[in-house]
Structure formats: C-alpha cells, structure tokens
Structure 1
C-alpha cells in the first residue's frame, strides 16, 4: 500500500494483482478503508470470486452477449431478444453498469414494467433478468446478483371456460369450407396452432387410427421446424370424427406436393397470422362467440373433454405434449369431474362384503 500527500491531502493507494496478473490500484482517503478493501480483494482471489472493479460492461451489453450464446430454438431466440430490447434496453436499467446495479434498482425497474405487463409476463421477464445475472456471477463480472426478493404483483390466472361441442360446431359452420376440417382436427387432436399448420399427409395413419406430431410451423414462418419441446413430438389417437373430416377435406383439397395437409388456394402453408387472425377471428365473429376466443381454445376444449370422460391427468399431459402433468392440473384442475361420489362408492364397495359393523350402543370403554 502506498501513501501519497498532494496539496496537503493524504490518500492511500491499495495495490494488488488481479487473477490475470495485471496491476490494479484504488485510492482511499483513510488507511483503514484501504486495508479493508485489500483484505476483501485477497479473499475473493483466494475463493476464485474476484470481480474486476474497473469493468464497465452495462446490463444491456451483457444481456445481448448472454442471449447470443444461448442454445435456443429460433422462436425462443426471437422472443428472448425482443424482451431484452424492449424491456431492458428500453429502460434506465439497460445502461447501468452491470456490477453497480442495486436490488432497489431492480425493484424499481420491475415496478415500472408492472405498469405495462401482465403479472405472468412480468414474472417471466424477472426470471430472464435473474438468469442473465446468474451467468454474470459465473463469469465473475459481478460478485452477487441484485435480482433478489423482488416484490411482484400477484398473478391470478383466470379459470378457463372451455368451448362446448355445440360451440365448436358453430365455429366449424362459420369457417370457409376449405378450413372447416382444421377446426375439427385441432379440437379433436388438441394440437397447438403451429402443429396444426405443420401437419403432413404422411402424419395421418387412417389404418392405425393415429396421428404423428413431428413438426410445427413457427410464428412469422412458413417453414417446418422442430416442435416446442421434446415431449411435443408425440403420437395422438385419431378419433373417427376427425378421420371423417380429414377424408372429406382431402377429397376436395388434396395435400400439397410437400405433403402439407392444410393449404391456401395457392397451395401454400398457412401462416399463424393469416389463419389465426384473419380466418379464425372472422369465423368467431360469425359464430357469435366471444371475441376473446382463439384457436388455442380448441386445445382447451380437447383437454376438457378428455378429463370429463375420466381420462387420467398423465394421459392428458401426454396427448397435449406437456413436459409433465403439473401444468394440466394447474390449468384444467377445476374442470375435473367431482370425485366425491366416487370416493363414497369406493369405500362402500370395499366394506360391502364385511360382516355387520358393531354400532355404538352408548357404552363407555
């Protein structure tokens, strides 16, 4: 440590070598502060937790580098990049030095985002920032993450009210003839819209009564890509009502040369926006259904029908292509039929063959 006196003012220079062997220094007005700082630096170096105090990397600079290095599917990469640019770069947090951000600043940032985002979207965004800082800790750009104990508004998920069979039929009738089988197929197989648009003729096995979900068409694309998750690649039972609709559809509108099952009149695959926003939304209005209804409600319809018929939660999760049954329970648990009667019957049946059960005659033991 060096002591310097300039213009009558004494300063103490704490000197050390960083983990790369470079000479570093920092000035303090008091010797005790310089000593304490050096001890902290030495301890961090020994633990392998040294952070360069001169690093000027900003939050947005590191966030972009972090996102570029992630192994994401194209759709996920676009979504993450969009969140970073809109909700980090576009805020005061983005230009802050990565290592200088305080928990209170993260809280203020989250409160600001809460004014423009739903509670669920905000939680996902805070989770993204938490992941970015977790990586920064590993890269030793920060000593600890400031994304801790962030107070967020409660997320109240509205209960799903699934479409009835009658409402789905009304929707089918309101669709252009070329698109009617698409509604029946999505409602009868529980497909995501991308999976519906990506279906090929070869995926339909009328003999074995199965449909293989192998690909999807992602938003802003007309090219097939891998499904959303590993579990999304699945085989789904083909109900007769769907088989009949597909047979009728193929008789009128043969599959495209590449096997695409549902095509425009020009033989091209549908885009998410054109089918979901233009065609589907128009049919919803014609059918007199709530304007909030989207093609995803047909997937909810599928799940609700299976649960109402006593299909297990695990089986429903597999049919929908979910990673586990927890999402099915949290999303559709309120739709499961009342099990009280089944519980009573199970106990009564088990005791039906037992001898008469002694009744209480008022004797104390």
Structure 2
C-alpha cells in the first residue's frame, strides 16, 4: 500500500507552502511517485500507480537499462538455432553502432524509431536489412513490455522502405544438367539430388543411406548439417522433417554415387575423403560457386552468374508448379510451414490459367439443362 506525505515541515520547503509527496511499494521496495502542490492530485496519482501495479501494467521508472543491454539479455534467453543466433548477433552489433542502442529503453519514442529508420535508409542500407532490423527491435520491445520495463512498444506505425524482391527466374533442366556435368564427379549427384528433391543445403549434406528407400522410391529428411560446426542437428522447423517422392533420375544418381564413393559407417551419402560431412562454406562457397563462375564466364555463356545452391530448390519448385502440382503439395515438399510462402515466392511461375477458366465455365454450362425454367414471381408480388 502507498501513502501521501505532507512535506510542509520539510526545511527545504520553508515559505513555499504545502507539498504532497506520493510513496508506494512494489516488490518490497518503496518508490517515489512524485510531489504535488494539491493533495487531491497526489491522491489521484497514488490511485493510478496502485491500480497499474495490480493490473500488471506498472513500469519501473528507476530502470536505466539501455536498448542494446536489454537486446543482449533478450537474445541470451532465446533458444535460437546457430544460424539464427549469428543473425541476431549481427543485429545487436548494428544497434551498438546506432545512437538508438545507447538510449534508455523506456525513453525511446516512436519518433525516435522513425528517425533511426530514416538514418539507416540515408546511409544506404538495403531495404530488406532495414526491415529486418526494425522487426528485431520490435521483438525486443515486445519482451520488454512483458517484463514491465516499458508500458508500450515504440515500434508502431513506422514507415519502412519498400523492399521489392526480384522475381525468381528458375534454372532450366538444361542449365541444371550443365551444372552437374561441370562440377566434377564427386559432386555431380549432389547437384542432381538437390534439384530433384528441393532440399536446403544443410538437408542435402545430412542425407544418409538409411534416409533413402530405393524400393519405395522415397527420401526422408530427418536432419541437417549445421554451418561451421558440421554437426548433425534437427531440421529447420518441425515441418521440415518430411518424406519426398524419389524421382528416377535422383535414385540413379545416388546409386551411382554410393557405388563409386562408399559412405562411412554412420551412413552419410555425401562426405569428404576422410568421411566427414561437408561444410556449407566449402561446398556452397567454394566448389559450387567456383563452378558457377566458370560456367558464367565462358565465352557466349548465358548461365546466370548469381546462381547459388538455393537456386536448385527454386528449380524444383518451378518444375512442380509448371506440371500442375498444387501449391499446398509444393509447400509440403519444400518443408514450408504454410503455402503462403510458396505463393509469394513462386506465384509468378504458376502456369497461365486463362484457358482452364474458360474451359471450366463452358463445361459447367454445357452440362447444365438446356431448358431454362420459367421465372417465378417474387413473394408478395403479382
């Protein structure tokens, strides 16, 4: 419970009249709620403070935590995967360099966040980077609200730069075949497998003999190889654990690879000569990237120089969509949580449905009765 103290007898108030000081208790601490010239105002302030404590909306006015300090604490408590933890670390370091990071957490206003966004845009940061940084700050403040360090989040109604992602132009079958033939015999099956199963690079590197059922013609995604550590870990999301139909061309490539390069005892299909899993940077950043550079740099070549291993996943999705596979099915094959991402990423690749629309309407009308029933009068009318 709180109380109001009359500071009239305070020597420092001599000749200045009454002054009413508000005191209230939270978590065993007595805090100062301010001093007021009118007793009724002080009572109203005390009532507001006690009500906010009871509702769980009270914010500690003495807390001096800065934005970047709380961001570090927030990140330490989150169960981030290694790749996510690295990205969060970069975002925290960006906050350390920006003035907003040193501001007191409770002192940041929406106008401060908007000014920060404008500064990042003026400095030439990519629109996608700015949007990710603001989304990160919003997550930090959502946690701060729950921890009662701030009453509300200042990351609201912020005007963000528009991030226009370039439309994906998928590799053709001929381009994937050209890439597989050029990359070298030890890595050829890796290209064909990723293109024929739509795997993420970590899922490709983690594929084991026991994950492939040649008899039932399926492949099972159970793990992924973590970057840097090369440890076998859980897939990216629960939906990433999935069973994928095994095309003949992938089955043949895997069978030939296993016969030529026998897997180690624990079963990884793709491994170094020493039997260790490949590192993302080695395969994707050196072997794959070097081959792309050679193909794109050849005289008269039209091979896209920006190609990465992820473009093989795009190729897989584009082939399924062009064949009329449903968006939901493609989403499941790719291991997405929902079909929305498939629509936003590959919607422009969906085959033109104008003729199908015409046929659907014509078929419905052709199958309908040719005689039109007589019109019936509406109720209440003659």
Tell me if TM exceeds 0.5: yes
Deviates more, 1:300-309 or 1:96-105: 96-105
2:74 counterpart of 1:66: yes
1:261 pairs, out of 248, 256, 269, with 269
- 1:195-344 aligned at under 5 Å gives the runs 195-288=203-296, 289-344=303-358
Q: 1:7/1:268 Cα in 2 relative to 1: closer, same or farther (>3 Å)? A: same
2:377 corresponds in structure 1 to none
Instruction: Indicate conservation of the 8 Å contact 2:23/2:33, yes or no.
Output: no
Instruction: Indicate conservation of the 8 Å contact 1:18/1:45, yes or no.
Output: no
- 1:60-99 aligned at under 5 Å gives the runs 60-84=68-92, 86-99=93-106
2:35 counterpart of 1:21: no
2:159 pairs, out of 128, 151, 164, with 151
Q: 1:335/1:32 Cα in 2 relative to 1: closer, same or farther (>3 Å)? A: farther
Shift of 1:32: 8.1
- 1:24-173 aligned at under 5 Å gives the runs 24-25=31-32, 28=35, 31=38, 35=42, 37-84=45-92, 86-114=93-121, 115-173=123-181
Instruction: Indicate conservation of the 8 Å contact 1:13/1:26, yes or no.
Output: no
Instruction: Indicate conservation of the 8 Å contact 2:22/2:35, yes or no.
Output: no
Shift of 1:13: 5.8
Instruction: Indicate conservation of the 8 Å contact 2:110/2:154, yes or no.
Output: yes
Shift of 1:93: 1.7
Q: What RMSD, in angstroms, separates the aligned Cα atoms of the two structures?
A: 2.2
Counterpart CA distance in 2 for 1:283 and 1:316 is 28
Instruction: Indicate conservation of the 8 Å contact 1:186/1:299, yes or no.
Output: yes
Instruction: Indicate conservation of the 8 Å contact 1:186/1:196, yes or no.
Output: yes
Counterpart CA distance in 2 for 1:34 and 1:141 is 25
Counterpart CA distance in 2 for 1:138 and 1:145 is 10
2:190 counterpart of 1:182: yes
Counterpart CA distance in 2 for 1:47 and 1:72 is 31
Q: 1:216/1:70 Cα in 2 relative to 1: closer, same or farther (>3 Å)? A: same
Instruction: Indicate conservation of the 8 Å contact 2:33/2:46, yes or no.
Output: no
2:375 corresponds in structure 1 to none
Counterpart CA distance in 2 for 1:37 and 1:91 is 36
SS at match of 1:144: coil
Shift of 1:121: 3.2
Q: 1:33/1:181 Cα in 2 relative to 1: closer, same or farther (>3 Å)? A: farther
1:362 corresponds in structure 2 to none
Instruction: Indicate conservation of the 8 Å contact 2:180/2:188, yes or no.
Output: yes
Instruction: Indicate conservation of the 8 Å contact 1:210/1:237, yes or no.
Output: yes
SS at match of 1:221: coil
TM-score for the superposition, normalised by structure 2:
0.87
Instruction: Indicate conservation of the 8 Å contact 1:12/1:27, yes or no.
Output: no
Instruction: Indicate conservation of the 8 Å contact 1:197/1:217, yes or no.
Output: yes
Shift of 1:345: 1.2
Counterpart CA distance in 2 for 1:251 and 1:45 is 70
Deviates more, 1:293-302 or 1:106-115: 106-115
Segments of structure 2 that go 5 or more residues without pairing to the other structure are 297-302, 373-382
Q: 1:144/1:32 Cα in 2 relative to 1: closer, same or farther (>3 Å)? A: farther
SS at match of 1:142: coil
Instruction: Indicate conservation of the 8 Å contact 1:28/1:34, yes or no.
Output: no
TM-score for the superposition, normalised by structure 1:
0.91
Counterpart CA distance in 1 for 2:284 and 2:173 is 20
Shift of 1:259: 1.1
Counterpart CA distance in 2 for 1:303 and 1:47 is 50
Segments of structure 1 that go 5 or more residues without pairing to the other structure are 359-365
